[in-house]
Amino acid sequence: MALHEQATTGGGAAYVPDARIALSTASVYPRGATAAFDIAARLGYDAVEVMVWTETISQEAGALRSLADHYGVPVCSIHAPTLLLTQRVWGTDPWVKIDKSIELAEEVGADTVVLHPPFRWQRDYAAEFVDGVRERSERTDVRLAVENMFPWRARAREMQAYLPHWDPTESDYEHVTLDLSHTATAGSDAMAMAAQLGDRLAHIHLADGMGSYKDEHLVPGRGGQPCAELLETLAAQGFSGDIVVEIGTRRLDDDQREADLAEALAFARLHFAAPAPAE
């Protein structure tokens, strides 16, 4: 893995791995994919992750390639439409959703497809999920990175909403996405999860959270997650996956949204660096 040397303000140097800092289209919701590419280009993001949504542009390779070419920002990853709110995008068959996501990623040149584990009520799909992901991974160069989730909570009750589990560390996935808002909601130890995953950690969703039962997706540095520590550790290890800013801005006006996205990018650039080795 190539490392880039850069000077620091203290007169020393830091090494920055060749990983991209990307912007998720989910971070500009309710604005669409075009706005995400525009903001990513103006703020200096390296790439865009496309959340496949009800928006037609997010589902069409030609439209996404045109946006990438126009703004000079590539698509690094596709987030499959496996959320509750996208249950009817590309039909209701979850394997069709995954296969179409892989096809879309291949057509736009994306390296990764992000998957959520099955919901509890998708029992047949859940029973074959691990094997099905493995089989598809063998047929494509695209990484299928299963994302960590969290138990659902209401008042004092907790429900296991995902199968085989919301925590992917114990499952036999070749690639995993680590989401730092989800570790906050789950009460997971993000650093321990990253260490346990080792080389299986392929993709990062950079956000923060205070540990609420809600999935908060705060700007990194505004919650209680070890966002800076994780980035510094990954930089020291020469992490080669993509680091995708996925924060919630839907309640913000355009100026506030851009300010938060600029702050998140600056945080990632600052902390995704490893100290230079001593002479």
Task: Provide the token pair at 228.
Answer: 């800076």
What percentage of the chain exceeds 90 in pLDDT?
Answer: 84
Over range 164-182, report the average pLDDT.
Answer: 96
Does residue 250 surpass a pLDDT of 60?
yes
* pLDDT score for 277: 65
Does residue 7 surpass a pLDDT of 50?
no
Q: How many residues does the chain have?
A: 279
Q: 199-224, pLDDT tens digit by residue? A: 999 999 999 999 988 899 999 999 99
Measured between alpha carbons, how far is residue 240 from residues 73, 106, 130, 234 in Å? 18, 19, 24, 9
* pLDDT score for 238: 94
Over range 238-255, report the average pLDDT.
Answer: 97
Q: Which fold is adopted by the domain 16-268?
A: TIM Barrel (3.20.20)
What percentage of the chain exceeds 70 in pLDDT?
Answer: 94
Q: 95-125, pLDDT tens digit by residue? A: 999 999 999 999 999 999 999 999 999 999 9
- Position 10 confidence tier, pLDDT thresholds 50, 70, 90: very low
What residue has token string 């030609």? Answer: 62
Write down the domain spans for the chain.
16-268
Mean pLDDT of the chain: 93
* pLDDT score for 83: 86
Over range 138-143, report the average pLDDT.
Answer: 98
Any idea what DSSP says for residue 169? G
* pLDDT score for 221: 98
- pTM, full prediction: 0.93
Cis peptide before 30 (omega within 30 of 0): yes
Over range 32-59, report the average pLDDT.
Answer: 98
* pLDDT score for 275: 81
- Position 146 confidence tier, pLDDT thresholds 50, 70, 90: very high
Yes or no: say if 245 and 21 are a contact pair by the CB < 8 Å rule. Answer: yes
Q: Is 205 helix (H, G, I), strand (E, B) or coil?
A: strand
* pLDDT score for 79: 98
- Other Cβ atoms less than 10 A from the Cβ of 136: the count is 17
> Higher model confidence: residue 161 or residue 43?
43
> Residue 221, CB half-sphere, CA atoms under 13 Å: how many?
14
